[in-house]
């Protein structure tokens, strides 16, 4: 993957990466391991999201930057109304965020919240269509046609779809993107509540 990104000019020459399997609420990394963290369409799947946000704060160095994306409230609410299968599946979405709710949870973990914007305006109608015809009916002609449009847009970046998405993003952008940073000298976040409402015991994190 890194080689393909480098070939496309999306990664510096000599950059390396490897996948790591782990638990977002107990990451297998030492404190302050990363300068940047991107959590893209992740938190809406995690029941203990505040604990996961606390782990992001732990592994990010003081002064580090965070970008979080989650499904935006309005497009997501429409999907939930159109289809139970959209969210009632193992590993599916367990909540619908509002931006103030997400920002509040970031602040609880010690982050200072910055700007935000919406993205993927062309994707909302696709998911509404999928919810209407059946989330798992990938062979439906309308779903296939819209999917081809999205692939064309992603691969070719034609001006017509780029302009359309810029116009649609503030209105029906599928994702909300929130930026934050960890202040220098910020303490580790407080132990979050467990699903039973009790404080989680503190864990020691050894540096490698």
Q: Is residue 200 assigned to a domain?
A: no
Q: Is residue 50 assigned to a domain?
A: yes
- CA angle centred on 177, ends 175 and 180, rounded to 5°: 160
**pLDDT, tens digit, for every residue of 106-141?**
999 999 999 999 999 999 999 999 999 999 999 999
pTM of structure: 0.85
Residue 10 has what pLDDT? 78
Expressed as residue numbers, the domain containing 148 is 34-181
Of 96, 43, 95, the closest CA to residue 67 belongs to 43
Q: Is residue 25 assigned to a domain?
A: no
Beta-carbon neighbour count of residue 66 at 10 Å? Answer: 24
DSSP reduced 3-state for 203:
coil
Question: In a 10 Å sphere around its CB, with 0-12 CB exposed, 13-18 middle and 19+ buried, how is residue 177 labelled?
Answer: buried
In angstroms, rounded to a whole number, what is the distance separating the alpha carbons of residues 152 and 166?
A: 16
| Total domains present in the chain | 1
State the CATH number of the domain containing residue 137: 3.40.50.150
């Amino acid at each position: 993957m890194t080689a393909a990104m480098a070939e496309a000019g999306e990664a510096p020459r000599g950059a390396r990466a490897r996948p790591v399997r782990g638990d977002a609420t107990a990451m297998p990394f030492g404190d302050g391991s990363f300068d940047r963290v991107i959590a893209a369409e992740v938190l809406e799947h995690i029941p203990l999201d505040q604990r996961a946000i606390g782990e992001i704060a732990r592994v990010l160095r003081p002064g580090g930057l965070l970008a979080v994306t989650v499904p935006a409230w309005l497009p997501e609410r429409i999907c939930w109304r159109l289809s139970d299968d959209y969210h009632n599946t193992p590993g599916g979405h367990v909540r619908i965020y509002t931006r103030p709710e997400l920002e509040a949870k970031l602040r609880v973990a010690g982050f200072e919240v910055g700007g935000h914007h919406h993205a993927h305006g062309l994707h909302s109608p696709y998911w509404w269509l999928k919810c209407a015809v059946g989330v798992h009916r990938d062979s439906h002609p309308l779903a296939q046609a819209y999917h081809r449009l999205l692939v064309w847009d992603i691969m070719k970046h034609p001006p017509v779809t780029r302009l359309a998405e810029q116009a649609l993003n503030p209105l029906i952008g599928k994702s909300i993107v929130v930026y934050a940073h960890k202040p220098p000298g910020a303490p580790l976040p407080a132990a979050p509540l467990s699903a039973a409402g009790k404080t989680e015991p503190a864990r020691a994190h050894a540096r490698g």
